[in-house]
Amino acid sequence: MSHKNIVVITGEASGDAHAARMITELKKLAPDTVIRGIGGDNMRAAGAEIDVDFSELAVMGLIEVLKRYRHIKKIFNNMVDLLKVERPDLLVLVDYPGFNLKLAKEAKKLGIPVLYYISPKVWAWRAGRVKTIKRVVDHMAVLFPFEVPIYESAGVSVSCVGHPLVDAVKRTLTIDQAKTHFGLNPQHRILGLFPGSRRSEVEALLPIMIQAAEQVCRHHYDVSVVLPMAPGLDADVIKPILAQSTLPIRVVDKDFYELTSACDAVVAASGTVTLEIALLGVPHFIIYRVAPMTYRILSRLVKIPYVGLCNIVTDKALVLELLQDDVSVERLEAEMTALLINPKSKDNAEAIRQQVLTALGPSGGAHNAAQQVINMLKLPNND
């Protein structure tokens, strides 16, 4: 039997991680499958050939995207040319709808089947995208059970494969063991600054996180600060921001779950990372800030009351969210301090973890997604 060729497109760090887990499972089921596309180190390690690094696309916000439109358009045209030349057996799109739905349209013209893995947030805004999806996508593989009826009612082929983080996120070290692992002072409380994986996020959020952390450390001498280096983020983005502060911040570029486990409190940019923090049972709160015009537009379009995934999947305000003007040095310092000194913080975080796990549903998400690829490639079922 001849091997199959698939193209996988991701546009950010979380998509690269999810795609890599799916590819790892796919390689177990169909080892000869040839995979290429847009991704990062995780997809590369899983066995994919990376034509473009996802960091070239990782921009958040309407105004921010417009600034880089020409560059993104060039990458898009190159991907269309790739589809025309390679004629893959399947195109797998991972989230990133602004780019991916347009690429799906081009694939449809070429007769290339399209699997969309991880749904655009049509339940939050731009519900009209469901009509586009029906025209250009052959099957939706969604993460959350509540997404299935949205597509079924529109006549879109859909299956809930489950969220891969249910299996992927595991705490392997206690907080004391994790501190020792990174050579952190075991007597110190550890504050984590998680400013996101996109350049625009880091530039908007990290400076104010650091200023707030400086205030915390002035009042509490037993606090150390750590910062994970997000996959795909150029270190040159962080260096000039860190240089503006005298605060000793430990930057770590690996062992993300272990580093998170070492933290007594975390402030994080909204995104998939907040789900990972919650599933590790670490006290945290969420912040986000975009260009004022972007926010004005989005606030009119978004139909749900939350931005944090934990709050969205449970439909409860479990984790504090601070947006736009609420993202101030004073407010961040107050919330960081509250998490660090509240003796109930860890118990509250564990209660959140349990509720999020229940809401996420079944395990086996990455394997189930790989099985859907097998089904669409019409390969023998080795499940």
* Together in a domain, 338 and 204: yes
201 & 341 share domain: yes
Asked if 351 and 368 sit in the same domain, the reply is: no
**For residue 123, what pLDDT is reported?**
65
Residue 170 lies in a domain: no
Residues 370 and 355 in one domain: no
Q: Measured between alpha carbons, how far is residue 176 from residues 159, 188, 259, 306, 367 in Å?
A: 41, 10, 11, 33, 33
Q: Is 295 domain-assigned?
A: yes
Whether 223 and 80 map to the same domain: the answer is no
Q: What is the DSSP letter of 313?
A: H
49: in domain: yes
Q: How far apart are CA 221 and CA 218, in angstroms?
A: 7
Predicted confidence band of residue 137 (pLDDT cuts 50, 70, 90): very high
Residue 383 in any domain: the answer is no
150 and 299 in a common domain: no
Residue 113 within a domain: yes
> For residue 75, what pLDDT band results from cuts at 50, 70 and 90?
very high
Residues 231 and 372 in one domain: no
Residues 140 and 244 in one domain: no
Q: How many domains does the chain have?
A: 2
Per-residue model confidence as pLDDT tens digits over 317-368 = 999 999 888 999 999 999 999 999 999 999 999 999 999 998 887 789 999 9
40 with 124, same domain: the answer is yes
CATH number at residue 251: 3.40.50.2000
With respect to residue 143, please indicate whether it lies within any of the assigned structural domains: yes
Q: Is residue 155 part of a domain?
A: yes
Question: Is there a single domain that holds both residue 334 and residue 212?
Answer: yes
* Structural domain harbouring 66: 5-164+364-377
C-alpha 142/C-alpha 1 separation (Å) is: 30
pLDDT band at 65 (very low <50, low <70, confident <90, very high): low
Tens-digit pLDDT profile for residues 117-127: 998 887 665 67
14 and 154 housed in the same domain: yes
Does residue 58 have a pLDDT over 80? Answer: no
User: What pTM was estimated for this model as a whole?
Assistant: 0.79
Q: pLDDT by residue (tens digit) across 141-163?
A: 999 888 899 899 999 999 999 99
Residue 175 neighbours by CB distance under 10 Å = 18
Q: Are residues 195 and 317 in the same domain?
A: yes
| pLDDT at residue number 122 | 73
Residue 121 lies in a domain: yes
Helices (H), the chain: 13-29, 41-46, 62-67, 69-86, 97-109, 129-136, 148-152, 165-168, 175-181, 199-219, 235-243, 256-261, 272-279, 292-301, 309-314, 329-341, 345-360, 365-377
**What SS3 state is found at 270?**
coil
276-318 pLDDT tens trace: 999 999 999 999 887 777 767 666 666 667 888 899 889 899 9
CB 12 within 8 A of CB 54: yes
